[in-house]
Amino acid sequence: MSQKAVVLSGMRSTGPLHLGNYFGAVKNWVGLQDRYECFYFAADWHALTTDYADTGEIAENTLHVIADFIAAGLDPERSVIFVQSMVPEHAELHLLLSMITPLGMLERVPTYKEQIREIQNKDLSTYGFLGYPVLQTGDILLYRAHLVPVGEDQASHLELSREITRKFNRFYGEVFPEPKALFTPTPKVPGLDGRKMSKSYGNSIQLCDSEEEIRRKASSMFTDPTRIRRTDPGHPESCNLYDFHRLVSPPELQEKVARECRLAQIGCVDDKKLIADRLIEYLTPIRERREALIADRDTLLDIVGEGSRKARERAQETLDQVRSAMGFDYQKLLAKVAR
Ligand code: TRP
């Protein structure tokens, strides 16, 4: 096994990836593939924490997330790309970690408190939802990961993972490296309505959106609210639309648009057309790769199967170490009897 540090990250498979997922996470993951030994996965069990009442779409969403990953540049030859539930060792490690995780630590997690408050249409007072970050810790420790590239919104989960890791190592010996969050600088990715882009707000542009969808969405984007008439000068620095230029336009175009907007030489409607063109140019190769993968289901399934097999090898190695550290050495004892 190589001496490279191990990187691990995952994404809940609740639907196709949008630009927020791409610019906030997956794009950064792509850049880590040469320097580190990388594991990337679709967290289908984590999707259950909110979608437990209707599981009908989780498996299909999971395959689509894997297709999105690869279309966006994750390379199954260089990274281990897999599905969480295809490596059942996640569940065993989760159970063991749950035994040493104090309830109070989980109840204090800010994302937990926030979601319980914000999400009204689902009953989130479940054991599984409270334990979400314990399962996440299991995901990380199962691969003895050193670095976990995530968005800032995951900071509290990573802190908790580190605490659980220290506690485990204190009780049973130094099995796990303490995982560090790798907060890659993530640009602001606003939704069409100016709030953060999020699946649950219905304000996102997806990697699989067609040209027509992108045009329709671009034309509905919120713009500078202080620019009422076409002749009013605009404020690109505080305009939602301009954030999209920062993401997908070359610097010359960004400067040109900013200048002309300030002088009221370009209107918001023209600018939305420009943005649609740039988004289409940026996303078309990704969408085409994705469509090819979805159309060739056998190949996609092969990739998932092979990635999950590789992931499982490392997971089983870790669990052997864990069982022995905790004194559950039945397999070894049995092997002795057999001899
Ligand atoms: N909680 C992460 C998110 O919502 C997804 C996730 C699950 C994850 N397990 C993980 C991220 C392990 C990093 C490492 O984005």
Tell me which residue has its CA closest to atom 13 in ligand 1: 9
Same domain membership, residue 281 and residue 333: no
- Which helix or strand (DSSP H or E) is residue 7 part of? strand 6-12
Q: How many helices (H) and strands (E) does the chain have?
A: 16, 5
Which residue among 87, 146, 157 is best mutated to probe the pocket of ligand 1, counting the most ligand atoms within 8 A of its Cβ? 157
Give the whole-angstrom CA distance, residue 176 versus residue 338. Answer: 31
Pocket of ligand 1 contains residue 21 by CB under 6 Å = no
Tell me which residue has its CA closest to atom 3 in ligand 1: 11
Per-residue model confidence (pLDDT) at position 186: 75
Same domain membership, residue 218 and residue 110: no
Same domain membership, residue 103 and residue 34: yes
Give the whole-angstrom CA distance, residue 203 versus residue 186. Answer: 19
Same domain membership, residue 98 and residue 140: yes
Long-range contacts of 314-319 (CB under 8 A, 24+ apart): 314/39, 314/80, 314/142, 314/143, 314/144, 315/87, 315/89, 315/90, 315/142, 315/143, 316/89, 318/89, 318/93, 318/141, 318/142, 318/143, 318/144, 318/175, 319/89, 319/92, 319/93, 319/142
Question: Is residue 203 situated within a structural domain?
Answer: no
DSSP assignments along 152-163, one per residue = GGGHHHHHHHHH
Give the whole-angstrom CA distance, residue 35 versus residue 233. Answer: 46
Please give the model's pTM, rounded to 2 decimal places. Answer: 0.95
Same domain membership, residue 315 and residue 185: yes
Q: Please identify which residue in the block is written with the tokens 């850049």.
A: 31
Per-residue model confidence (pLDDT) at position 331: 85
Structure-block tokens of residue 176? 């796990």
CATH classification of the domain holding 224:
1.10.240.10
Same domain membership, residue 249 and residue 118: no
Same domain membership, residue 118 and residue 30: yes
Same domain membership, residue 109 and residue 257: no
271: phi then psi, degrees, rounded to nearest 5: -65, -35
Pocket of ligand 1 contains residue 139 by CB under 6 Å = yes
Pocket of ligand 1 contains residue 204 by CB under 6 Å = no
Give the whole-angstrom CA distance, residue 65 versus residue 55. Answer: 16
Domain span at 286: 209-292
Same domain membership, residue 109 and residue 45: yes
Same domain membership, residue 312 and residue 264: no
Closest CA to 81 of 92, 91, 93, 72: 72
First to last CA, the chain: 30
Same domain membership, residue 91 and residue 42: yes
The one-digit pLDDT tens for each residue of the chain (339 residues) are 558 999 999 999 999 999 999 999 999 999 999 999 999 999 999 999 999 999 999 999 999 999 999 999 999 999 999 999 999 999 999 999 999 999 999 999 998 988 888 888 889 999 999 999 999 999 999 999 999 999 888 999 999 999 999 999 999 999 999 999 998 777 889 999 999 898 888 999 999 999 999 999 999 999 988 898 999 999 999 999 999 999 999 999 999 999 999 999 999 999 999 999 999 999 999 999 999 999 999 999 999 999 999 999 999 999 999 999 999 989 888 988 876
- How many Cα neighbours within 13 Å face the side chain of 237? 1
Give the whole-angstrom CA distance, residue 83 versus residue 306. Answer: 10
Same domain membership, residue 84 and residue 175: yes
Question: Is residue 201 situated within a structural domain?
Answer: no
Domain count, the chain: 2
Pocket of ligand 1 contains residue 287 by CB under 6 Å = no
Per-residue model confidence (pLDDT) at position 48: 96
Atom index in ligand 1 nearest the CA of residue 149 equals 13
The alpha-helical segments, DSSP class H, found in 15-154 are 19-21, 27-32, 44-51, 58-71, 89-99, 103-107, 110-118, 127-130, 132-141
CATH classification of the domain holding 170:
3.40.50.620
Question: Is residue 49 situated within a structural domain?
Answer: yes
